[in-house]
Amino acid sequence: MAEDQFPGWHGTTIIGVRKGGEVVIAGDGQVSLGQTVIKGTARKVRRLSPGGYDVVAGFAGSTADAFTLLERLEAKLEATPGQLARASVELAKDWRTDKYLQKLEAMLIVSDGKDLFVITGAGDVLEPEHDVTAIGSGGNFALAAARGMMDTEKSAEQVARDAMAIAADICIYTNGNLTVETITA
């Protein structure tokens, strides 16, 4: 079906901020279909605890696709306990090479409190240079805002919350209803 025939699902802003010995991942709650807000309270940031090893993950894109990826990530973490980088690379390799997974349309930000990664369907596992990363329709707005606040006295959580507020003011597919998870190394 052509994109102009069906408006498609839009939206989401997810941000990850590492500062002061902690990592905060925050996401908005808006789900849109075309120009209509379908839901304003979705939870797009989740805590995973495979084998007692805590990881926080936020997702942008198709919800069903993201849940599939989160389940796969949990399985990779169970197979490689305490090794988020290895589990992320294994997930990205599967995502890039598996015919079923290749069709998934989502991105993830994941952290164990020490590492912070963006995982994409192109086979990328990206670690941000400036301890902040963001994905989704308002991701660039949130990223720019957060980068501008990283040298202030604000905590990781306050940087994430303030950056998300700025993104919500600019991006019509992002709202101010946040889910915020904090994790320390």
Q: What is the dihedral of CA 53, 177, 65, 137, to 10 degrees?
A: -120
Angle between helices 63-79 and 84-97 (to 10 degrees): 130
Residues forming the active site:
12
Supply 74's token pair.
Answer: 């949990």
9-10 and 179-184 strand pairing: unpaired
- Please list, in sequence order, all residues whose beta carbon lies within 8 angstroms of the beta carbon of residue 23, skipping any fewer than 6 positions away: 16, 17, 56, 111, 113, 116, 156, 182, 183, 184
pLDDT higher than threshold 50 for residue 5? no
* Residues, the chain: 185
13-19 and 36-39 strand pairing: unpaired
pLDDT higher than threshold 50 for residue 179? yes
CB count in 10 Å sphere of residue 159: 27
pLDDT category, 180, cuts 50, 70, 90? very high
pLDDT digits (tens, 9 = 90+) for 58-116: 998 878 788 888 999 999 999 998 999 999 999 998 888 877 677 777 889 999 999 99
CATH number listed for the domain at residues 9-172: 3.60.20.10
What residue segments make up the domains of the chain, in order of their start?
A: 9-172
